Every structure is written in C-alpha cells, then in structure tokens.
Amino acid sequence: MLLRRVYTRSLNSRAFHDLRTYQDDPRWPGWQVIIGIETHAQIKSRRKLFSDTFTPEGDELPNTKVSPFDAAFPGTLPKVNPKCVDLAIRTALALRSKISMRSSFDRKHYFYSDQPLGYQITQQYSPIATHGVLELEMPRAAPIKVRIKQIQLEQDTAKSTFNPRLQKSYIDLNRAGAGLMEIVSEPDLRSPEEAGAYVRTLQSVLRAVGSSDGNMEQGSLRCDVNVSVNRKGEVPGTRCEIKNLNSVKYMMAAIVHEIKRQTQFLDTNPGATVPQETRGFNENTFETYRLRSKEDAPDYRYMPDPNLGVLVLSQARIDDIKTNLPSLPWDIRSRLVSKYPSLNAKEKSLNVLINVNSGKEIGFDGENSGGAVEYFEELCQTPVTGGSRPTVRDPVVLLNWLTHELLGQLASRKETFSDNPLSASQFGELVDLVQDGTITGTSGKHLLRHMLANPSSRRPREIATELQLVALTSTSSSQSTTSSDSSVISELEDLCRSAVSNLPCEVAALRAGNKNVLNKIVGYVMKKSRGRADATATRELVEKMVMQDGCKLTCDPVQMCIIEYVTGLGHLRDPCVPIGAVNEQRKKGLPPPLPSQTRLANTVMLAGAGTHIRNFH
Ligand SMILES: Nc1ncnc2c1ncn2[C@@H]1O[C@H](COP(=O)(O)OP(=O)(O)OP(=O)(O)O)[C@@H](O)[C@H]1O
Ligand SMILES: [Mg+2]
Ligand SMILES: [Mg+2]
C-alpha cells in the first residue's frame, strides 16, 4: 500500500518575494537577488543513523567503520538511532521550529558508487521539523528573520576518491550511513553577505546545542546555494543551485559570480528566463560551472522506506530536551552584556568566547560541557588576587586576555580550550599580576606560555618570581609593593644608564627634541631586560637621565646637525643634503653623502644658535 503512494515534488511557494522590501545594491543596480540555502550538517552522534557502528572521526583507516547495513548487505535492516533524533530535536527547538510528532523516511534513488544502497534514506516529504526561524544580526542594519522551511534526517554517503594516475576510484564506506540533518531555508536571503551571516549563525547554533561540529573545512557542514535574480518589481527568477560549497568564502564568491552570470544572461537575452541548472564552483577561477540542466535532472523515484515505520515522538521527550537545551549564543551574549555592560563594545571578542564555549570540538551525543563562558564568569566574579580590600576585576581586560592570549597560545600549540590546563583561579591571578604592574604584559605572555607548557597547580606569582619575571620599575611609577624593592629599581637604572651610554646618537637626537627616538631607547632596555622593564618607568628614567643637562642644545649646532645626519634620523628632510643624492647612495647600499661645508653652514645659520634642530624638519 505504502509503496504505491505517489510522491510529487512540491516547492514551498509562499509569497517570499514580498516579505522583504526591495533594496537596491550598487553592485547590481535594478536587480533583486533571492537566495535560499540547503545545509547538510553531520550529526555529532556517537553512532550512525540506522546502524550501531561508530561514526568516523576522520582519522581512521578506510572501511574500518562499516556495518553490514552500511555496506548494503542483503537482508540487513535499518534501526533509527534515538540520539540522532534527540539532536535533531535540539536543533529544531533552537531554530524555533514546529516539531512533527509523526515523521517518516523516504528513499531517494540515485546510482553512484558512493551510495551502496542505491538510494539515500531521507525525510523529504514528512520531515522531523518545519516552519522554523533563524534571526541574523547584521552590522549597521536591522536583524533579518530567515524562515527555515524544514529540518530532515538523512544518511550521509560514502567517500569516493579518484586517482587520475591509476585511473581508479576508491570507495571508503566509513562515512556511509552517518547521520545528517538537512536544514532548508526559505528563499529569504538577499545578498552574499546575508548568506554568509546565515551560515555563520547557523554554525554557532549547531555548536551551541551540540548537534554538529558545523565545521565546513572538515566537511561536517556543506551547503547547496540556490540563487535567482529578477528585475525590481518583477516575479522571482528561476533558481540555479550551486552544489557542495565547503567554505563561507567560497559560498559568497559563488553567489557573486552567479548573480553576474544570471544578470548578464538576462541583459543579453531579453524576454528569456535563466535556464534552471545545477552548478558546481571552481575554487581556482571563483566561477560556477554547469553540472546538469533541469532536463537532465535525475528522477529520484521517491518512495517511503518500507523498512522504517513512522517516527513517533512524545511530548514528554520534546519537553525534556527543551528543559535541558544549552543556552543559545544570543542568550549568552545578552546575559553577559547585561551583567557586564562594558562588554557591549567588545562584540568580536564576545563572539569568539561564545563560539569557543559552544566548542568546535563538541562531544558526541550532545555531551558538550563547553565551559569557556563559565570560566570567563568565574574570572569576573573573583576579586583581584592578594589585594587588601576586594577589588573587582575588569571584564574587558579579562576578555582580551582570554580570547587573544589564552586562546591564541593554545591555538599555536594546536590545542583547544578544552586542553587548557590553567584553572580560572591561576589564569585570573596571572592577569592580576600584569594589571597591578608586578609583571609586564610581555612577561605575562611569557608566564602564560610557561604555564601552558608545564601544567601544575602552582601559583603564577611563585612561578613569576622563580622565572625572574618580576617587573623592573621605579618607585614613582610602581603600584605594587613587591616590585619596587631597591634591587629591581637599581637594575632598571643600570639598564637605562647602559642604554644611554650605548646609544649616543639616539641620546643626542633626543636632546635635540626628537622624542620619537625615545621608543628606540626604551626598546633597547626592554630587550636587555627580556621584557621585564616597565615601559612607563623606563621612559621616565631615560628622559630624566638624558635631560639632566637640560633640554636646550648644549653642544655646537653644527655638531648636532652632523649627529642627526649621521644617525640617519630625519636626513631625508635635511635641507643640507639633496634628496636625489641620498637616494643614489641608498641604492648602492652606502650611507647618505655628507653635506658640503657651505650648505651645512647655511643650514646652521638658518637654524640659529640655540634653536632645536628639529625646527628644520
Ligand atoms: N526563486 C528562488 N531563488 C532562490 N532560491 C530559491 C528560489 N525558490 C526556492 N529557493 C530555495 O531553493 C531551495 C530548495 O531546496 P529543497 O531541498 O526544497 O529542494 P531541491 O533543491 O529541489 O531538493 P534537493 O534536496 O534534492 O536538492 C530552498 O532553500 C529554497 O529556499
Ligand atoms: Mg534539499
Ligand atoms: Mg537542492
């Protein structure tokens, strides 16, 4: 009976074109662009959709994670994995969809070597969820609501690789039968940028609920993009579908090329419609190319899968999943911003934190502890370490250290947040040491590197002392008691004194009023102190030492001019030397020529005795 049911394709043709007001785009004036995206997300379930074989993680040998059912042995039967269903329900709830209490599976027939069964089991006609919404935050524009047409469960295919040298195709069945969710949007997107924002937002939702890695580079998220164009006020054009895009960048480039191709076609063929095609994208030329036309489109001969009954869900199961649904990115963001208003200006870093929290390397079957947001909140809630009175930590400083330094250093160690060996209390203390001036920012980074490489439960202050990272500072600029003891002060003074005597030209230029060279002198001290010197204290000390003789020119202006000239500081603008002559020497790798005595004398005369040399420049 069921087998005889005839299925017809039905495209949801709600009047989407009048949902959004037309906005002219200067890149293609007079044209409206309509985009709808089909996303295939690998479900992060420990086992496959219809067999109890483990889902491959990507690093196993080919054909080692295959059950007889995945290899389509006759007589084997599918059995729905409830974990995949639960994760699809989580996704549906996060996308505010209507969950179907009864859904069913169809066979979509096509014959290809990566499809051992000869058909894919999917939910084309009675999907697990429909009528969802995904809201996109757009920079400098109102948020956009994208309707989700449906979410369907389906099987992944095997992987085929072609060896052109041997002219052979290899099939790896590991991926065959792994669980996928196809998330189909309504055609509510109007530009490549909106399409990019849609995929990124969807990724963050999938990661937040733990239903998929959403990783395009590794193939756990793949997109088919449908694009059509129409002239302002006209009905939507025919869509072309660009298959299998594996990065947001390529997807946006494919859309741009497709818009240009379709508008050009309509301009040069008045009255014609764009032929409906399935297209591919060439990652080298950034162009789309024809794969097949509507006429050659396969007839999938959909039919209900007779081996799988109706998938019936209970309200209690849905309610239970809803109660335990992890926080969604936008809820986390608004909670953090309302708690710590200064974070409002740190949108990018907040996004990084929230994305990490959702965990790129999320656990199987939705076991996602995430934890980055929790870690951050613990940092913020703990008062500054060691103070006599409890002082509140600055959330902006903590967020910067967490997203830039901690995550950056973990990434350079090829590790992720879940590998972080520092407790919130250790990391917080490290930031406190930098904030109170006990160690410099550079030393803080060094200390962090050391603590990541040598995990222990030791306190950062103890390690900093052991590694001799305590900042070199002066009494006047020091805020911390520990760092202002006489030994560190005299060490800084010694370093500054040595800089002053080792950099005579820079010192002379500084005396002449060229404040820019101060950075060079401070840099010298920094280097010699291995980043321990406090920059402000060093600046103050150097200036004091250099200016001890007074800021006015004490030496002969001619001599000063030569010093400035020889050091190359500002010689390009030195009226003593013609620029052509300087460049000529430069090309030969030689120092600039000395000015003639007469020119020099004129220049010095122009400067006037006692005037700072910088006045020339
Ligand atoms: N005029 C249009 N312009 C751009 N996109 C459109 C237009 N009409 C529909 N779409 C989009 O095309 C997509 C159609 O996807 P759907 O899965 O329903 O069908 P399909 O592409 O025919 O099937 P398959 O899953 O086999 O690829 C949807 O994302 C929809 O929003
Ligand atoms: Mg589809
Ligand atoms: Mg499609």
The two most distant CA atoms of the chain are separated, in Å, by 109
Give the containing element (helix H, strand E) for 521: helix 517-528
Is residue 461 within 8 A of residue 436, CB to CB? The reply is no
What's the complex ipTM? 0.99
Helix, strand, coil in percent for the chain, rounding step 5? 40, 15, 40
Return the half-sphere exposure (C-beta side, CA atoms, 13 A cut-off) of residue 202: 33
**Binning pLDDT at 50, 70 and 90, where does residue 384 land?**
confident
Give the pLDDT of residue 592. Answer: 59
Give the containing element (helix H, strand E) for 321: helix 315-323
Three-state secondary-structure class, residue 282: strand
Quick one: which atom of ligand 1 is closest to the CA of 122? Answer: 25
- How far is residue 355's CA from residue 344's CA, in Å, rounded to a whole number? 17
Determine how β-strand 221-231 pairs with β-strand 31-42. antiparallel
Q: How far is the CA of 184 from the centre of ligand 2 (A)?
A: 6
pTM: 0.73
**Binning pLDDT at 50, 70 and 90, where does residue 568 land?**
very low
For the stretch 396-415, pLDDT in tens is 999 999 999 999 999 999 88
Give the pLDDT of residue 578. Answer: 55
Counting ligand 1 atoms within 8 A of each CB, the residue from 10, 18, 38, 299 with the most, and so the one to mutate, is 38
Is residue 145 within 8 A of residue 135, CB to CB? The reply is yes
Is residue 114 within 8 A of residue 160, CB to CB? The reply is yes
Mean pLDDT estimate for the chain: 84
Quick one: which atom of ligand 1 is closest to the CA of 228? Answer: 3
Ligand 1 — pocket residues by CB below 6 A?
A: 11, 34-38, 184-187, 224, 226-228, 236, 239, 241
Residues above pLDDT 70, as percent of the chain: 81
**How far is residue 142 from each of residues 20, 25, 145, 205, measured CA to CA in Å?**
12, 16, 10, 20
Other beta carbons within 10 Å of 72: 15
Counting ligand 1 atoms within 8 A of each CB, the residue from 11, 234, 294 with the most, and so the one to mutate, is 11
**Binning pLDDT at 50, 70 and 90, where does residue 581 land?**
low
Other beta carbons within 10 Å of 423: 12
- How far is residue 420's CA from residue 399's CA, in Å, rounded to a whole number? 16
86 Cβ neighbours under 8 A, 6+ residues apart: 317, 321, 365, 366
Residue with the smallest CA separation from ligand 1 atom 25 is 38
Three-state secondary-structure class, residue 461: helix
Counting ligand 1 atoms within 8 A of each CB, the residue from 18, 239, 279 with the most, and so the one to mutate, is 239
Q: How far is the CA of 28 from the centre of ligand 3 (A)?
A: 25
